[in-house]
Structure 1
Amino acid sequence: MRRKLRNGKVARAGICPGAGEIAGALRQSRAAKLAGARNDRGAPVELRVDSSHSAHSPRFASIYRTCTTQTSACTASPHRLRSRPTNSTSLGATRDESPDEIDFFTRHHRAFIAIDDDTSDTEAIQPVKSITSDPQTWREAMSSDKREVWAKAATDEFTSMRDDFKVFTIEDRATVPAGATIVTSKFVWKTKRNALGEVTGHKARLVAQGNRQRDGIDFNETFAPVARFSSIRSLLALAAANGLHVHQADIDKAYLHGDLDHDIWMTAPRGFDLPSDKVLRLRRSIYGLKQAGRIWNRHIDASLRALGYTATGTDHCVYSWLDDRQCPHYIALYVDDLLMISPELAEIERVISGLDQRYGVKRLGPAEYILGIQIRRFDDGSIALSQERYIMDVLARFHFDTTTRGTTVPMTPGLSLTAIPGQGTERIRSWYLQAIGSLLYISLGTRPDIAFAVSYLARFANNPGRRHWIAVKHILRYLRATYRNELVYARGQARITGVVGYSCEESTLRSAQDLGARSEPGADLGARSEPGAPAQDLGARSEPGT
């Protein structure tokens, strides 16, 4: 199959039809030079697409810029995708005629030069990474333009674990019992950003690769709860209505504070190679171990109880305490993130100081950004929640930009889909699962308007086809048009006249079994679907000792 590129060149099947787009991004003289480039053997240079990388790969050319605006002015998005229009007619085939079911070859992707030797001609075309891209391996980190920053972050992490937290000791490999599992380790790289997407630091986290652990030998129980989105929203609504303070804090290296319940050995990460006869013996819990989350949760639960707080009945990661005036104070715990809601700043300081003495706490002040949710507080005390930054990241990952046409509804009216075995490819399934996971996170956070559409499409996750993927793209187009939508909680109690009942996505405790469960006397699942149940439980469980 032959296709005509925008620059008039003819490409064979398998050659990226977006190559002309990349050449057009360069200056004309440079593009002309590349168009006729040949390697040292006289062979022409070809532009090929690397289709082996998934959409979330940091090697993809997902590009967008960051610009800041005043919160009162909505003339520009804090995170706007760079406009790169695609002209399907110039590719010699329309989207419907393309054999590619997910438009992989009709969108903009990374292209690279396929030649034997590197030359100055090829250095001009470099893959442009998304603002959300971080290295995936040690090699990527050390070959990036931030290798010195990443190297320092890795050194600080390793020495801190060894010297400050005493997480491991270096032992002779001969001391490892016969048959014991030696897990491997690696660094996970993370660029830290604030609510506006501005870089605030670079983190290298040493993790154990717990996939080699054996159940019953290296660990027993693994479950660890986290605060639900519905609980966090309920607390923020309560704070807005009553003018409560909302502050945020982060426990420093949370998982390293717990003691292990099993003997575990680990190899050193790449970049910190030990002699072949040496191995690391873990003395404390570490990120990546299957039981690490549970160990930490039990540790922080005991610390919060020592400060007088008790877990609520509805959510075991929402803690409450009543002071002498019977005023409630709340703490929502999500792994190592703390969201504190209180009428008194002195109480927030008491909690932070108590935890700081035991763990070390980063004081983040009034909450602005937590779990991918941006929090804005207005002068009148109302609170607005949005996931604008996260939504724009998702759109960039799936190649939606400012030229993408939006839509006014998340699902086509009357849409009916069926699952037909073998209708989709493995590539469609991979992209489909990634998209559904991201959309579920958005719907649970601040966008209940897409909840039904996402839930419906999630039923076909095992066997999605072309029509299912088109429906997913419809939701993405809807988010493209509405990414600035916010949930706003007003100050003051609502005025209610008469009996009013609401049942919405403020609580996501419903399931497909609710209707049946409600018909059974005393069915707990049905009872949990009653409007206002989470808020009622927060109040009911605020009694001392409950």
Structure 2
Amino acid sequence: MVDEPKTYNQAITNENWKKAMLTEIQALQDNHTWELTELPAGKTPIGCKWVYKLKMKSDGSIERYKARLVAKGYTQQLGIDYIETFSPVARITTIRTFLAVASSRSWHVHQLDVNNAFLHGDLTEEVYMTLPPGFNTEKPNQVCRLLRSLYGLKQASRQWNEKLCTALLSIGFDQSKSDPSLFTKGKGDKFIAVLVYVDDILVTSPNISQITDLKSFLDETFSIKDLGKVGYFLGIEAVMNSSGLHLSQRKYALDILTEEGFLECKPVNTPMVPGHQLQHDDGVPLADVSKYRRLVGRLLYLTATRPDIAYTVQQLSQYIDAPTDSHLSAAHRVLRYIKSSLGQGLFYPKGVDLQLNVFSDSDWASCVDTRKSITGYCIFLGTSLISWKSKKQATVSRSSSEAEYRALATTVCEVQ
């Protein structure tokens, strides 16, 4: 297994990482990301560093070596180096709905990645940065004045999203009011939909020529990497066949088991002991709480395609402030359950009716610590499960009817 270097001095000894850094610098220069200049009086440059990442395929093999030059945005000053930072990303429910509709209608679904996406954003602020490690100039004491946004800058994601939105709107796309990351255009055979998650993009259309034309436009405007038919998106494996689309996070689940040392564990049939209720002060407090918090965080993302563990992970999430050995033991049982069902996920069949079917429920005062109730719902588009939730209610309900009404209100909000 190849290790990812932590510093520039470690990376420079490896030809693959050296080549990756040269490729990144060349991309930055071709994009006119900065200009070299003397630092004006009264200005303080922000720092930068190299970040190294191995890009893996779904089968675990190395796809490519990636070196990214990242600005130390945490040193930026509000009102001087940046103003606004917010940038939308697609909701996971929107992604599942997007794929469910496409699968039902037997549309083409392709994915693409924008090369050096954040570098395309234009900066309106005057930002100076120190020279990248390993980058030398003929004149001493020079700095980089950033003309384009750079990874690590607080406003980088916002500037890129604004640039992409402007480009899509300019060619006739309509931006969804429910989720600003979704863009649609045309009707019938001319219909095309685009879903954006930072620099990862999904495109679907009944007409492959529509997708091809959009790819050509985006490649001319930004330079993209065409990844073809959807296969591995945001850690989710998508397999399309004649009967429909199957979504799973098998590789992600394997990574969790490997990291926690549960790859050879004995599997169990349920994620939680039936009837067992966790309590806040149940057990001995953990000396190192970070391990528990990281595990629960990773399990939370696994629920993107695993509704079967949603309730259990919701229970575990209640105790991240002060976890005990009892809570950790319950989390380990989830890992043993995952071992028994690694490839389990969602299936979106072809040719089904797209009628919404919604189910809502709640318990009453089940939390022994707060006496709050838990809301649960699941929403189907035809037979495709697109949204679900298990969450503790914000206030104490004084009756089971009140708890049910709160659950219904939450469900209706999601449906709308």
Residues 104 and 349 in structure 2, CA contact (< 8 A), matched pair in contact too: yes
Counterpart pick for 1:409 among 270, 275, 284: 270
1:424 aligns with 2:285: yes
Read off the aligned partner of 2:33 and give its amino acid letter.
V
Residues 91 and 179 in structure 2, CA contact (< 8 A), matched pair in contact too: yes
* Whole-angstrom distance in 2 between the partners of 1:525 and 1:177: 59
1:160 aligns with 2:27: yes
Counterpart pick for 1:241 among 78, 85, 104: 104
* Whole-angstrom distance in 2 between the partners of 1:441 and 1:203: 24
Q: Aligned residue for 1:209?
A: 72
Counterpart pick for 1:507 among 380, 387, 400: 387
Matches within 5 A, 1:166-185: 166-172=32-38, 175-178=39-42, 180-185=43-48
* Whole-angstrom distance in 1 between the partners of 2:84 and 2:209: 37
**How far does residue 160 in structure 1 lie from its aligned partner after superposition?**
2.2
1:189 aligns with 2:71: no
Matches within 5 A, 1:374-523: 374-380=237-243, 382-401=244-263, 403-420=264-281, 424-427=285-288, 429-443=289-303, 445-494=304-353, 501-502=358-359, 503-504=377-378, 506-508=386-388, 512-513=392-393
**How far does residue 141 in structure 1 lie from its aligned partner after superposition?**
2.3
Matches within 5 A, 1:279-294: 279-294=143-158
1:252 aligns with 2:119: no
Q: Aligned residue for 2:176?
A: 312
Residues 423 and 463 in structure 1, CA contact (< 8 A), matched pair in contact too: no
**How far does residue 510 in structure 1 lie from its aligned partner after superposition?**
7.2
* Whole-angstrom distance in 1 between the partners of 2:239 and 2:227: 15
**How far does residue 246 in structure 1 lie from its aligned partner after superposition?**
0.4
1:366 aligns with 2:240: no
**How far does residue 500 in structure 1 lie from its aligned partner after superposition?**
6.0
Q: Aligned residue for 1:138?
A: 8
Read off the aligned partner of 1:533 and give its amino acid letter.
V
**How far does residue 231 in structure 1 lie from its aligned partner after superposition?**
1.0
**How far does residue 151 in structure 1 lie from its aligned partner after superposition?**
0.6
Read off the aligned partner of 1:166 and give its amino acid letter.
H
Structure 2 length-normalised TM: 0.85
State, as a whole percentage, how many aligned pairs show the same letter: 34
* Whole-angstrom distance in 2 between the partners of 1:337 and 1:448: 24
Inter-CA distance 234–346: structure 2 relative to 1 (3 Å threshold): same
Inter-CA distance 469–349: structure 2 relative to 1 (3 Å threshold): same
Q: Aligned residue for 1:78?
A: none
Q: Deviations over 1:220-260 (max 9, x none)?
A: 22111111111111111111111111011111111111111
Inter-CA distance 425–273: structure 2 relative to 1 (3 Å threshold): farther
Q: Aligned residue for 2:16?
A: 149
Counterpart pick for 2:211 among 323, 348, 358: 348
Inter-CA distance 157–449: structure 2 relative to 1 (3 Å threshold): same
Aligned length: 387
Instruction: Name stretches of at least 5 consecutive residues in structure 1 with no aligned partner.
Output: 1-128, 535-546
SS at 1:195's partner residue?
Answer: coil
Instruction: Name stretches of at least 5 consecutive residues in structure 2 with no aligned partner.
Output: 360-376, 380-385
Inter-CA distance 453–421: structure 2 relative to 1 (3 Å threshold): closer
Inter-CA distance 394–500: structure 2 relative to 1 (3 Å threshold): closer
SS at 2:158's partner residue?
Answer: helix
Inter-CA distance 500–205: structure 2 relative to 1 (3 Å threshold): closer
Kindly report structure 1 stretches of 4+ aligned residues shifted beyond 6 Å. Answer: 514-517
Inter-CA distance 514–167: structure 2 relative to 1 (3 Å threshold): same
Inter-CA distance 510–346: structure 2 relative to 1 (3 Å threshold): farther
Q: Aligned residue for 2:415?
A: 533
Structure 1 length-normalised TM: 0.66
**How far does residue 527 in structure 1 lie from its aligned partner after superposition?**
5.1
* Whole-angstrom distance in 1 between the partners of 2:104 and 2:173: 22
Residues 169 and 282 in structure 1, CA contact (< 8 A), matched pair in contact too: yes
* Whole-angstrom distance in 2 between the partners of 1:406 and 1:509: 25
SS at 2:387's partner residue?
Answer: coil
Q: Aligned residue for 2:383?
A: none
Inter-CA distance 190–500: structure 2 relative to 1 (3 Å threshold): closer
Residues 310 and 390 in structure 2, CA contact (< 8 A), matched pair in contact too: no
Residues 112 and 227 in structure 2, CA contact (< 8 A), matched pair in contact too: yes
